[in-house]
Structure 1
Amino acid sequence: MRPPIASLVVLLLVVAALTVIGLEGIHATRVPQAVLDSEQQIAADTALSTRTAIDVEASTLRRTANAYPTTNTSTPASTLKALTSARKAVRGSALLDARTGKLLATGGKQVPLAGVHVSTTASGHVTIPPRLVTSGGARELLYFAEVTLPAQQVDANQDQNQTPSRTDRQWLLVVSEALPTLTTYGDGRTAQVLDASGTALATTTHGTASSAADSGLPTAAARAANGSGRGTDASGSMLGAGTDSRSTVAGWAQVASATGPGDTDGLGLVVLTSRSVPATTGAADYSRFALEAAGALAAVALLLALALHFLVQQPLLRLYLSAGRLARSATEDGPAAWEELSRPVPVHGFGELARIGRALESLRRQLLGEIGPQEFPARRGPGYRALAVAGVLVVACWSVPMIFLLNRADTTTAVPAPVLAAQQTRTEITTNRIRQSLDQSYTDLNDVAAALPGKTRAAQTEVLRRTLADHKHYRSLYLLDRSGAIALRVGGTPLRTLVHVPDGGGITTVNTSGKIPAIAAYAQVKAARGKTPAAGVVLFGEIDVHALNSILPRPKLGSVWVTDRDNKVLASSVGYRAFQSLPDAGLTRLARATQGAAGTAGTATSAVLRTSSGPSLDAAAPLAQSGPTARLGWHVVTAEPAAALQIPAVQAEQRTMLAGILGLTLGAACLGWLHVVVIRPLRAVAVLVERLAGGDRRTVLHPVNHDEIGSITRSLELTRQALAERDRAARSGHAAGPSRPLRENTLQR
């Protein structure tokens, strides 16, 4: 019985020590770590948006050049004009011979090709990533794409006797564009795109920037990014200059791919965001509370140890000695055995131990012949099981307040305002990224729809198949005729249940029920003049919901949902059922709060809500204010548990609750262990020994465990055998006198 008691004391003292260690480690700094982490994530989200914009521009240019239908009559000038005239972002363009690097045609502003070894880069027909160059003192991006010519076409400047090869049939398209425009959210936040040396290439500010901005932050951010290695999506945070009441926090992130080689890996771009935040003035010191709580638990452990020692352990050891003495007296001869049998059995403790002690005393007197079998009352008082329950209640008196009452974080003051503002900012950035993805899906589909008129059904099918292969986010492409029936389809079976032929183009849903929400882009297919009418009048592209879901997860942003105007879930970063409601009524109210006046998109909002697991940082934002998704009325909702952030008040609440849970769990486990190995066997032995004292000589007592209770059971079995032998002798007329102890039975196995 010693291990459960010792374990109870040791484990409760360990919990007390962990309480001190955990709560003393919480300190309020001038700028909470959660604020720095939030700024780091904002920089990482902004860098992701920049990287995505560059990747999309590069892939779109390559796809356009690859799909351009060159003929034997195509000239470099006409090809260059056809490929770039519709691209508004292009500043300058050039068409080169991919083999020699010779300039064939130019357009717009002069393309800065100095330092770019085109022929070396383009050899081998590898994908050429964008390059960062300087033009007129400004930094620009160069995008590259190969244009494949018909096998029969040879450059006019090439020797007519030269045998054409695959290299001779490639032109290289080069366009120069400005860096993608940074979209900055959060009042007073500044965002910059830096090169590897820390020079700012682009700067945007939302609202009024703080005058306390640190001019050394760009250099420090570039140095930190270079130290983390090129071609990674490393990020970090820094503290800048400040005043007595405010500090500048900054976050940096590399514009590079984390999943493998990408178009932005070699650019060396770094995004830096910064904002002035109020400094923390109140001190959060939980040392005194930790010491008081640990001292109270140590007192509880000492109290339980003393109670179990004096009420259980010592009485049980005395009973163990008394049962052994009684067994020796019943099985041995001699004056010593008679003397031990003459000593009364002391009754110690209460409950089961007291019952066993009284029954042993009755057996001693029966061995002496003083009395016969004695019945014991069936009504019992409180036993040691009540003591175990009382022990659990004592531990609960310390644990329950720790779990439910003490150090509870106030949802209105626990979360710093900059952290909540950062959750709203990150929600807006995510919303913008989703909007860009849906807008790009519509733009791509609109380009495909423009290429369908005048083509045969087979040619249209080939265009749709090529589009489906190039755009992995589409799961199905199909043309609707004027009645709404599908005239032509490639890809998976459409999920649409709404049969309609809409006007114009945009993004919509084509079902309102089912296991998978069907979000689709659509565009009108115009009939070509003087040619056979198109097979359909509207082109639909159903967007794979998994592709949309993959955009949503971001570190430390929590759960993300995309909802329709009725606040039904269309996509999510966590498991969900299509068209289900948001998991919490507070999130639904928050989404509704973003809705503005009639005809407006509304504004983003955020709040700290109390949930069953603690405070939660929640935010919602309308999906779009312009573009093909503006009239949908969709929202993006996020929820991040405050426990996942390093907020002192929330950390104190969580660690206090953890200490209470550990104390209650370990205390109940040790007392349950004591009940299993001591109290429950004692209850069984008490019943058996009372039956033996009541005259039951037939029930054999089998020891179960090799411990004190097992030894008591073995002693009782020897006593039963001695009494059974005496009863047999009495029935045969040779009963032993009371002055002579009985010999040990020959049952020795």
Structure 2
Amino acid sequence: MRPPIASLVVLLLVVAALTVIGLDGIHAERVPQAVLNGEQQIAADTALSVRTPIDVEASTIRRTAAAYPATSTSTPATALKALTSARKPVLGRVLLDAHTGKLLAAGGRPVPLAGVDAARLTSGHGAIPPRLMTSGGTRQLLYFAKVTLPAQQDANQDQYQAPSRTERQWLLVVSEALPALTTYGDGRTAELLDASGTVLATTVHGTASPAAAGSGLSAAAARAAHGSGSDTDASGSLLGAATGSRRTVAGWAQVASATGPGETDDLGLVVLTSRAVPATNTAADYSGFALEAAGALAVVALLLGMALYFSVQQPLLRLYLSAGRLARGATGDGTAASAELSRPVPVHGFGELARIGRALDSLRGQLLGESGPQEFPARRGPGYRALAVVGVVVVACWSMPMIFVLNRADIATAVPAPVLADQQARTEIATNRVRQSLGRSYTDLSEAAASLPGRSRAAQTEVLRKSLADHKQYRSLYLLDRSGAITLRVGGTPLRTLVHVPHDGGITTVNTSGRIPAIAAYAQVRAGKGKAPAAGMVLFGEIDVQALNSILPRPKLGSVWVTDRDDRVLAASVGYRAFQSLPDSGLTRLARATQGAPGTTGTATSAVHNTSSGPSVDSAAPLAQSGPTARLGWHVVTAEPAAALQIPAVQAEQYTMLAGILGLAVGAACLGWLHVVVIRPLRAVAVLVERLAGGDRRTVLHPVNHDEIGSVTRSLELVRQALAERDRAARSGHAAGPSRSLRENTLQR
């Protein structure tokens, strides 16, 4: 019985200590940590938006060079034109001899080739990463690709030597401007820095505060990125200067791969975002509340421990001693046994212990022959089970207010306005990321469609197979004729249920139900040169929804969904069923609120909703702006629990609720433990001992536990055996008496 009581007191005191430790560390600063974390994540999202087009452009240039149908008669000029004619953002391009570095052909603006060693770059077997170079005072990106030509006879060999053929290799170098830097959130400034902290590009959304563009932040961000060591995708936050009641908050992130070696790891680019936010003047200190709550729980723990000690533990120990004394008196002989039975059994406590005590005293009288079996009343007062229930109620009186009443965060004021604005800005960045991904899918499909006219069926099949292999986002490519029938297919079985044939190009969904939503890009295929698209076919590329799902998750952004115009889920960062509704009606209303007037793209919006798990910071943004997604009417919706954003009011609520839950769990568990190992066995023993005192000598008392109650049970079994033996002896003597009298009367006659 000691472990449950001791555990109850100790664990409740531990919960009290944890309450002090948890709540004492929450302080409201002038700039909440959630605002700093939000700016850091915005910088990381912006860095991803810069890295993605660089990765795509590098892989596209290499893929184009690898697919170039070079022949032994190809000239550098014609090859350079064919390789870069479709590259619109190209500033300059050159072809170099891979072995000598000699310039073979050039076009566009001059390409800065200082430090470019063609032989060394082409000597390796891996891809050549882009480089950051300076030309005319501006920074440019150089992309590299190897162009391999068929082997031809060496023109320098001696005419008497055996003919030998050597393989030619060219190095394509393309210079392009840095990717466009886009920022979201009113008053936010974004800068692209090189490794030395020099600003390469700047963009401002709305009107930025002058304090938000201080030069000191650029140098500090470059130093922090340089000090991150091997963590290539490192990010962080900075605090800038204060202007009146506003303080500049900055975030920085390296433009590097987060999943291993990438194209941008060696560029040394850093994204810096900054924004002036209002500094809070309200000081929130929860240490006083923590001490009061912990003190109240400590008092509850000590009172419960004392109550259980004096009402259960001590009486049970005395009962244990009395039962042992009674057993020794029942089994012993002589004066010692009489002495053990001569002392009355004291009745201690209440409930089951009092019942057992009274029954033991009745058994003592029966052993002495002073009384016979005694019946006990069926109706009894409250027992120790009621005491355990009262103990749980007492703990609940402390826990329930902690769980449901105290330190409750007001959803209207708990989440700072900058945090809500950051969630909206990050949702817009996620929307732009989805829009760019779908746009690239459409562009890739359009290029494949443009290469199909005039080819044989086998050649078209080969083009589609190569496109499917080069673009992993597609799960199936197929051609539709004007009747809606599939005439050519590569990849998986199409998921389409729509059979109409569109007369334009773009992005659409080709099914309206099922387990997997089928998002597809489509482009017209002309029947031949100079013919209208209507005379040809339509190329569809079904996009693997997993490829779309993979670009949605971002740290601290929460759950992300892509919904159609009817607010049905098409893709998500968490598990979902195709075409299901959003998990909360508040999210659905938020998505519908982004819709603008007919013909407009709509605007992003955000709000704080109170859910079953606490406040949630939610936002929605329309996907349609321009390009192939303009007519979709889709939305991107995000929801981040406020508890994950390090907001003081929400943290205090969570810690308070956790303390209440722990206190209630500890109280219920320990008192339940006491009920199992002490109270329930006591109730069973009380019933058995009352039956024994009432004359039941046949029911054997088996000790179940090896503890105080088990010892009491063993003592009672000895008493039962002694009483049963005495009863048998008494019955034997009563039966022998009449037979002896009958024999004596017979002799007298």
**Fold similarity call, TM over 0.5:** yes
> Aligned AA for 1:17?
A
Deviates more, 1:408-417 or 1:94-103: 94-103
Q: Distance in 1 between matches of 2:346 and 2:276?
A: 79
2:266 maps to which residue? 266
Secondary structure, counterpart of 1:422 in structure 2: helix
Q: What is the CA deviation profile of residues 500-528 of structure 1, one whole-angstrom value per residue up to 9, with x for unaligned ones? A: 11111110000000100000000000122
Rounded Cα–Cα distance in structure 2 between residues aligned with 1:456 and 1:320: 100
* Aligned equivalents of 1:693, 1:471: Cα separation in 2: 89
CA distance in 1, matches of 2:490, 2:478: 6
CA distance in 2, matches of 1:530, 1:432: 36
After the TM superposition, which residues 63-102 of structure 1 pair with which residues of structure 2 at under 5 Å, given as runs?
A: 63-102=63-102
Distance 2:636 2:233 in 1: 25
Match of 1:176 in 2: 175
Amino acid at match of 1:704: V
Q: CA deviation at 1:32?
A: 1.1
**For structure 1, which segment, 413-422 or 123-132, has the greater mean C-alpha deviation from structure 2 after superposition?**
123-132
Secondary structure of the corresponding residue to residue 83 of structure 1: helix
Match of 1:397 in 2: 397
Match of 2:203 in 1: 204
* TM-aligned CA deviation for residue 84 of structure 1: 2.2
2:746 is matched with none
Classify 1:203/1:532 alpha carbon distance in 2 versus 1 (closer, same or farther; 3 Å).
Answer: closer
Deviation track 1:461-507 (CA, whole Å, cap 9, x = no partner) reads 00011111111111101111111111000000111111111111110
What pairs with 1:710-749 in structure 2 (closer than 5 Å)?
710-733=710-733
Corresponding position of 1:746: none
Which moved further from structure 2: 33-42 or 369-378?
369-378
What does 1:346-425 align with in structure 2 at a 5 Å threshold?
346-425=346-425
- 8 Å contact kept, 2:148–2:167: no
Return the offset for 1:81: 2.1
Residues 17-69 of structure 1 show CA distances to partners (whole Å, capped at 9, x for unaligned) of 11011100101112111111111111111111111010011111112222233
Instruction: Tell me the CA shift for residue 420 of structure 1.
Output: 1.0
Distance 1:112 1:394 in 2: 79
Compute the displacement of 1:73 (Å). 4.7
In structure 2, the residue matched to 1:743 is none
Alpha carbons of structure 1 residues 576 and 532: separation in structure 2 relative to 1, 3 Å: closer
Most deviating of 567-576 and 259-268: 259-268
Per-residue CA distance 1:399-421 (angstroms, 9 max, x = gap): 01101111011111111111111
Paired residue for 2:637? Answer: 637
- Structure 2 CA distance, aligned partners of 1:167 and 1:45? 44
Aligned to 1:738: none
In structure 1, give the amino acid aligned to 2:441.
S
8 Å Cα contact 2:344-2:361 kept in structure 1? yes
Deviation at 1:123, TM superposition (A): 2.4
1:535 Cα deviation from its structure 2 partner: 11
Cα 1:481–1:43, aligned 2, differ >3 Å: closer, same or farther? same
Spell out the pairing of 1:328-347 with structure 2 (5 A cutoff). Answer: 328-347=328-347
1:568, distance to aligned residue in structure 2 (A): 0.3
d(CA) in 2 for partners of 1:731, 1:288: 76
Shift in CA distance, 97/231, structure 1 to aligned 2, threshold 3 Å: farther
Q: For residue 49 of structure 1, what is the aligned residue in structure 2?
A: 49
- Secondary structure of 2:408's match? coil
> Would you say the 8 A contact 1:488–1:535 is kept in 2?
no
Aligned partner of 2:567 in structure 1 is: 567
How is 1:228-627 mapped onto 2 (pairs within 5 angstroms)? Answer: 228-229=228-229, 232-529=232-529, 537-627=537-627
Aligned residue identity for 1:576: Y
Contact 1:479 1:535 in 2 (8 A): no
Structure 1 position 536, deviation (Å): 6.0
Q: Deviations over 1:320-346 (max 9, x none)?
A: 122112112222223343233222222
Alignment deviations for residues 132-190 of structure 1 (CA, whole Å, 9 cap, x no partner): 00001111001112223344498x9x77979775642x222211111000110011111
Q: Deviations over 1:704-746 (max 9, x none)?
A: 11211111111111111111111111111189xxxxxxxxxxx
Counterpart CA distance in 2 for 1:532 and 1:501 is 15
Hey, what's the Cα distance between the residues in 2 that align with 1:368 and 1:326?
11
The 1:529–1:18 alpha-carbon spacing in structure 2 relative to 1, beyond 3 Å, is closer
Question: Where has structure 1 moved over 4 Å in runs of 4 or more?
Answer: 158-167, 530-536
Secondary structure at the aligned position of 2:210 is classed as coil
CA contact (8 A) 2:527 2:536 kept: no
Higher alpha-carbon deviation: 198-207 or 309-318? 309-318
Cα distance in 2 for partners of 1:165, 1:242 equals 71
Q: Please give the secondary structure, in 2, of the residue aligned with 1:174.
A: strand
Distance in 2 (CA, whole Å) between partners of 1:711 and 1:728 is 26
Amino acid at match of 1:370: E
Deviation at 1:11, TM superposition (A): 0.5
Residue type of the alignment partner of 1:192: E
Aligned identity (percent) is 83
What does residue 689 of structure 1 align with? 689
Contact 1:487–1:535 under 8 Å retained in 2? no
TM-score (structure 2 length as normaliser):
0.95
Unpaired segments of 5 or more residues in structure 2? 736-749
- Which stretch shows the higher mean deviation, 399-408 or 80-89? 80-89
> Which residue pairs with 1:739 in the alignment?
none
RMSD of aligned Cα (Å): 2.0
Q: In structure 1, what is the Cα distance between the partners aligned to 2:493 and 2:158?
A: 52
CA distance in 1 between counterparts of 2:89 and 2:153 reads 31
Is the 2:152–2:167 contact (alpha carbons within 8 Å) kept by the matching residues of 1?
Answer: no
What SS does the aligned partner of 1:732 have?
helix
Q: d(CA) in 1 for partners of 2:46 and 2:564?
A: 25
| Superimposed CA distance per residue, residues 349-391 of structure 1 (whole angstroms, 9 cap, x where no aligned partner) | 2211111111111111111222211122222221111110111
Q: Corresponding residue for 1:747? A: none
- SS of residue paired to 2:222: helix
| Structure 1 gap segments, 5+ residues each | 736-749
| TM-aligned CA distance change 1:446 to 1:212, over 3 Å | same
**Whole-angstrom CA distance in 2 between matches of 1:435 and 1:43:** 19
2:15 corresponding residue in structure 1? 15
CA distance in 2, matches of 1:85, 1:284: 63
Give the deviation of 1:570 after TM superposition: 0.3
> 2:191 matched to which residue of 1?
192
In the other structure, the counterpart of 2:145 is: 145
SS in 2 for 1:676: helix
CA offset at residue 573 of structure 1? Answer: 0.5
Q: Matched residues in 2 for 1:703 and 1:202: separation?
A: 84
Query: Are the counterparts in 2 of residues 230 and 268 from structure 1 also a CA contact under 8 Å?
Result: no
Structure 1, 229-238 or 487-496: larger mean CA deviation? 229-238
Partner in structure 2 of residue 62 of structure 1: 62
Distance 2:578 2:377 in 1: 67
User: Do 1:431 and 1:621's aligned partners in 2 also have CA atoms closer than 8 Å?
Assistant: yes
State the alpha-carbon separation in 2 of the partners of residues 661 and 46 from structure 1: 40
CA distance in 1, matches of 2:152, 2:498: 49
Amino acid at match of 1:341: L
Contact kept? 1:442, 1:628, Cα under 8 Å: yes
Alpha-carbon separation, structure 1, partners of 2:535 and 2:130: 39
What amino acid is the match of 1:218? S
Mark the CA change 1:608 to 1:384 in structure 2 (over 3 Å): closer, same or farther: same
CA contact (8 A) 1:479 1:536 kept: no
The structural deviation recorded for 1:659 is 0.3
In the TM superposition, residue 532 of structure 1 has moved relative to its aligned partner by 14
SS at match of 2:488: strand
Cα distance in 2, alignment partners of residues 363 and 373 from structure 1: 8
1:669 has 2:669 as partner? yes
Partner amino acid for 2:410? D
Which letter maps to 2:182? T
Structure 2 vs 1, CA of residues 532 and 193 (structure 1 numbering), >3 Å: closer, same or farther? closer
**2 CA distance for matches of 1:234 and 1:606?**
28
Q: Is this contact kept in 2: 1:328–1:337, CA < 8 A? A: yes
- SS of 2:240's equivalent? strand
